[in-house]
């Protein structure tokens, strides 16, 4: 899964030559054999490396504050989102919904690597939602729809239909 | 009495002196003394009571009345609680009601007297009309007992918020218990009418549905139940009135039948002397036969049985079917129009005449008011599918709507057209019963329709095949034993007009109109795979 994700990230970043990855351990942690140095281990580490490779540092955040926020969400992705059960996923969606209430992207107004990785991580959760739930986590759905329609992001993942109108009233869920 | 107690204890001690230690002996003696004191106290109390009773000047103003065995025809008119208003102030009246709650406070006792969904505050106070004993008696009447009360009506300065009669209260002069309720009730009425969710917040009890249904008689006394079933009666009445005006004839059909109308899978089998019979799953065949017998437009209100083993919020094994069948001239949309108009008349009638009931139910189960369009919205199945696909639902062209999709479509329709009631026309032929008329323009479609309220199906109907030849073909295609439905097919051999119709579930209509969540709430004594009693 993670390998596929990295492959599509490479394509998005416009890297010409695809890297070769292997995975390690029960959790299939991705490993990248680096030509000039020790191997890179872990989704976030490799992803950051790829971004630098592609010379698009703005994807990691421009201001110091943004960089911290991006890093925070990258950590969130691998520590909280990956491998969460159904019950936890509802708490995550609820928290995210609140967080995204006044934001376009994960790190405020600018599209960053955090959006890419969070999109990939949350995709299976969103696929499972009913229309009523998608409406309940409206801000997450809006952000998700925005990201999935960004050129080059979606790749192998199936599109999720998002309604633009509210069909369940707020008063009687 | 006192002496005996002491002697008895002593005697026991003497009989077996070795077995008992000194300590035990002492203990026994102490107990005996205690018992003696208690007896003394009781005797004194009894004496007091006696003198009190003798003192009671109001003793013929209260009590438990003799059982009503129709001994006498009393010339006494009982006033209804709902008629109590300031207009009757200072009148002395009699009324019969239940004791809803009672609360004693020193020399006063407040009662809330309930009659159906109405209640009024009543007061017994020590004075020249009532004695201390009378107040005590009133306070001790168990909840839900039925009492006859003579009282004067008094206006109150401050509205009584907790009662339906807010402007008056009753000053009780006489009170007699006509029927005493057992002190312990299986459920409390206040708990049963508490709005969903509110109980959790305040840490108060709510009654779950099974407990309600197990004690249905008490549950039916709640204001919510009273309102629901008054409204349900209204639905039947409006249904009859509207159809009568349209020239329909009410018919009665047998419920014990020899063959299932829609394949034998979901019917109850009953033993019928030396053979077996079925309980009708709809009056389908009979109402059609009436059409062939020139009744032209018929309807039928009666029980319908379904042996489906489904335990959902909207399935019952026995429910009341409101069935319509009518001959039409050229197009089955004449039938749809007639049925939708009937439904609209019912909705309007409920909206105009049952507002109190609707609001009473809303207090416990909040829901948005029911919306409908005039003329009723009619969508084709294809359009419905297109709407669902647009929302990302994957479905085959000839697939039946699943319940979640049905509900989703209801939501989409509500969003787009702002109506809770609509017709879905032209169902795929494959998902309908054998007597459904195929669509002349597309053999995969049929002239059939469903009607939906708040996204749930309430009516299934179609143009029926009135040609014996085609009917036989379709029956054979569905692998139905022709022998068993011979009488049915034969009725079309001697000239049958084109006709169509549909059947509505009364309980579902009430449930969805009121926006309730379980069909058992609108069935007085529900029957499902797990419930046969009460």
Interface contact flag, A167 B392, Cβ < 8 Å: no
Residues forming beta bridges with residue B147, ordered by sequence position: B97, B177
The average pLDDT across B394-421 equals 91
B417-436 pLDDT, tens digit each: 999 999 999 999 999 989 99
Distance between CA atoms of residues B392 and A161, nearest Å: 5
For B236-257, the pLDDT digits (tens) are 999 999 999 999 999 999 999 8
Burial class (CB in 10 A: 0-12, 13-18, 19+), B53: exposed
Average pLDDT over residues B160-184: 93
B469 pLDDT above the threshold of 80: yes
Q: How far is CA B39 from the centre of its chain?
A: 52
- Collapse the DSSP code of B231 into the 3-class scheme (helix H, G, I; strand E, B; otherwise coil) and give the result: helix
Give the pLDDT confidence score for residue B225 in this predicted structure.
Answer: 95
pLDDT of B494 reads 92
Q: CA–CA distance from A124 to each of A43, A86, A156, B67, B349 (Å)?
A: 17, 11, 13, 71, 49
**B518 inside 8 A of chain A by CB:** no
ipTM: 0.72
Radius of gyration of chain A (CA): 17
Predicted pLDDT of residue B41: 75
Q: What residue of B is the nearest CA neighbor of A170?
A: B368
Q: Is pLDDT larger for residue B132 or for residue B24?
A: B132
Picking from B368, B404, B412, the nearest residue to A172 by CB comes out as B368
Q: Does A35 touch chain B (CB under 8 A)?
A: no
> Residue A71 contacts by C-beta under 8 Å, 6 or more apart in sequence?
A60, A61
Domains of chain B, CATH where assigned: 75-179 (2.40.50.140), 189-219 (no CATH), 223-522 (3.30.930.10)
Does A2-148 carry CATH code 3.40.50.1820? no
C-beta of residue B281 within 8 angstroms of C-beta of residue B263: no
From the list A160, A165, A172, the residue facing B415 with the nearest CB is A165
Per residue in B296-319, pLDDT (tens digit) is 999 999 999 999 888 999 899 999
**Percent of residues, chain B, with pLDDT higher than 90:** 69
Q: A interface mutation test: which of B365, B392, B407, B412 has the most A CBs within 10 A?
A: B392
> Which 447-476 residues of chain B touch chain A by CB within 8 A?
none
Sign of the CA dihedral running B53, B57, B58, B64:
positive
* Pairwise CA distance, residues B108 & B136, whole Å: 9
The minimal CB distance from A161 to the residues B366, B392, B415 is found for: B392
Instruction: Report the percentage of chain B scoring pLDDT > 70.
Output: 92
What's the pLDDT at B49?
60
pLDDT tops 80 at residue B45 = no
Alpha-carbon gap: A146 to the closest alpha carbon of chain B (Å): 17
The mean pLDDT of chain B is 89
**pLDDT for the residue B385:** 95
What residues in A contact B404, CB-CB < 8 Å? 130
Q: What is the pLDDT of residue B46?
A: 64
Residue B2 has pLDDT above 60, yes or no: no
Q: Which residues contact B86 (CB under 8 A, 6 or more apart)?
A: B155, B167, B168
Given a cut of 90, whether residue B219 has pLDDT beyond it is yes
Residues of A in contact with B411 (CB under 8 A): 131, 167-168
Q: What is the per-residue pLDDT for B18? A: 57
In this complex, the residue of B404, B412, B515 whose CB is nearest that of residue A167 is: B412
Q: Which residues of A touch B367 (CB under 8 A)?
A: 172
The strand ranges marked E within B295-363 are 297-305, 318-327
Q: What whole-number percentage of chain A has pLDDT above 70? A: 97
Summarised one tens digit per residue, pLDDT across range A76-111 is: 999 988 888 888 899 999 999 999 999 999 998 999
Query: Looking at chain A, which residue has its C-alpha nearest residue B387?
Result: A163
pTM: 0.81
> Which pLDDT score is estimated for B54?
60
Q: Inter-chain contact B411–A171, Cβ cutoff 8 Å?
A: no
User: Which of A30-39, B452-461, B483-492 has the largest mean confidence?
Assistant: B452-461
Q: So what's the pLDDT on residue B9?
A: 47
Question: Which long-range contacts does B244-247 make (Cβ < 8 Å, 24+ apart)?
Answer: B246/B297, B246/B338, B246/B342, B247/B296, B247/B297
At B508, list the tokens: 């579902």
Q: Are strands B249-250 and B297-305 parallel, antiparallel or unpaired?
A: parallel
Q: How far is CA A68 from CA A47, A63, B38, B121, in A?
A: 16, 9, 81, 67
Residue B278: pLDDT over 50: yes
The pLDDT of residue B52: 57
- For residue A165, the chain B residue with the least C-alpha distance is B415
Cβ B367–A130 below 8 Å, yes or no?
A: no
Q: Which residue of B has its CA nearest to A127?
A: B392
Closest chain A residue to B366, measured at CA: A172
Q: Specify the higher pLDDT residue, B380 or A2.
A: B380
User: Nearest CA to CA, how far is A161 from chain B (Å)?
Assistant: 5
pLDDT at B394: 86
- Count of CB contacts below 8 A, A vs B? 22
B384-397: per-residue pLDDT in tens?
999 999 888 888 88
Residue B486 has pLDDT above 90, yes or no: no
Q: What is the pLDDT of residues B348-399, one digit of tens each?
A: 999 999 999 999 999 999 999 999 998 999 999 999 999 999 888 888 888 9
Q: How far is B185 from chain A (nearest CA, A)?
A: 33
C-alpha distances out from residue B242 to B396, B453, B497, Å: 39, 19, 23
The more confidently predicted of residues B386 and B41 is: B386
Q: Which residues of B are known to be catalytic?
A: 306, 308, 314-315, 457, 460, 508
Confidence of residue A169 (pLDDT cuts 50, 70, 90): low
Chain A residues with CB under 8 Å of B368 CB are: 169, 171-172
């Amino acid at each position: 899964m993670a390998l596929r994700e990295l492959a599509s990230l490479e394509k998005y970043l416009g890297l010409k030559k695809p890297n070769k990855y292997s995975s390690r351990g029960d959790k299939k942690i991705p490993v990248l054999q680096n030509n000039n140095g020790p191997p890179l281990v872990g989704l976030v580490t490799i992803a950051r490396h790829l971004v630098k490779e592609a010379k698009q540092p703005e994807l990691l955040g421009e201001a110091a504050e943004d960089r911290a926020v991006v890093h925070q969400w990258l950590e969130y992705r691998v520590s909280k989102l990956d491998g969460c059960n159904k019950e936890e996923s509802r708490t995550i969606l609820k928290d995210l919904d609140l967080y995204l209430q006044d934001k376009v992207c994960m790190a405020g107004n600018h599209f960053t690597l955090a959006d890419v990785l969070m999109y990939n991580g949350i995709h299976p959760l969103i696929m499972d939602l009913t229309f009523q739930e998608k409406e309940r986590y409206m801000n997450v759905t809006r952000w998700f729809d925005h990201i999935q329609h960004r050129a080059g992001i979606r790749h192998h993942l199936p599109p999720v239909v998002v309604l633009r109108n509210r069909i369940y009233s707020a008063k009687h869920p | 009495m006192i002496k005996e107690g002491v002697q008895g204890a002593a005697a026991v001690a003497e009989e077996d002196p070795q077995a008992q230690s000194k300590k035990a002996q002492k203990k026994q003696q102490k107990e005996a003394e205690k018992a003696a004191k208690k007896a003394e106290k009781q005797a004194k109390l009894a004496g007091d009571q006696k003198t009190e009773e003798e003192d009671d000047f109001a003793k013929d103003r209260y009590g438990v009345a003799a059982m009503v065995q129709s001994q006498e025809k009393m010339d006494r008119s009982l006033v209804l609680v709902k008629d109590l208003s300031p207009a009757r102030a200072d009148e002395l009246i009699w009324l019969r009601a239940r004791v809803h709650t009672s609360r004693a406070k020193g020399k006063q006792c407040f009662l809330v007297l309930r009659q159906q969904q109405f209640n009024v505050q009543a007061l017994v106070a020590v004075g020249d009309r009532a004695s201390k004993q009378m107040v005590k008696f009133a306070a001790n009447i168990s909840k839900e007992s039925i009492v006859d009360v003579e009282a004067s009506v008094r206006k109150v300065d401050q509205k009584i918020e907790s009662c339906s009669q807010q402007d008056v209260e009753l000053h009780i002069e006489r009170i007699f218990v006509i029927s005493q309720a057992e002190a312990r009730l299986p459920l409390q009425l206040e708990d049963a009418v508490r709005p969903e969710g509110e109980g959790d917040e305040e840490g108060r009890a709510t009654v779950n549905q099974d407990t309600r249904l197990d004690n249905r008689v008490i549950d039916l006394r709640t204001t919510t139940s009273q309102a629901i079933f008054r409204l349900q009666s209204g639905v039947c009445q409006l249904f009859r009135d509207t159809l009568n005006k349209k020239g329909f004839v009410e018919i009665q059909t047998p419920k014990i039948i020899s063959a299932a109308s829609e394949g034998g899978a979901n019917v109850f089998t009953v033993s019928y002397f030396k053979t077996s019979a079925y309980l009708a799953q709809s009056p389908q065949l009979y109402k059609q036969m009436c059409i062939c017998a020139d009744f032209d437009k018929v309807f039928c209100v009666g029980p319908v049985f379904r042996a489906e083993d489904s335990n959902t919020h909207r399935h019952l094994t026995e429910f009341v079917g409101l069935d319509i069948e009518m001959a039409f001239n050229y197009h089955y949309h004449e039938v749809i129009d007639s049925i939708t108009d009937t439904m609209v008349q019912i909705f309007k009638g409920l909206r105009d005449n049952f507002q109190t009931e609707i609001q009473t139910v809303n207090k416990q189960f909040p829901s948005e008011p029911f919306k409908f369009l005039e003329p009723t919205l009619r969508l084709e199945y294809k359009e419905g599918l297109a709407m669902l696909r647009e929302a990302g639902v994957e479905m085959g062209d000839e697939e039946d709507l699943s319940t979640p999709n049905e509900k989703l479509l209801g939501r989409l329709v509500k969003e787009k057209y702002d109506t809770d009631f609509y017709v879905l026309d032209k169902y795929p032929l494959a998902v309908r019963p054998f007597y459904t008329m195929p669509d002349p323009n597309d053999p995969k479609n049929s002239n059939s329709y469903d009607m939906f309220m708040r996204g749930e199906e309430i009516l299934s109907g179609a143009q029926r095949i009135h040609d014996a030849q085609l009917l036989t073909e379709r029956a054979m295609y569905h692998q139905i034993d022709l022998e068993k439905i011979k009488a049915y097919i034969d009725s079309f051999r001697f000239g049958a007009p084109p006709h169509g119709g549909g059947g509505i579930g009364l309980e579902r209509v009430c449930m969805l109109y009121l926006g309730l969540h379980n069909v058992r709430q609108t069935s007085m004594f529900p029957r499902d795979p797990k419930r046969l009693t009460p």
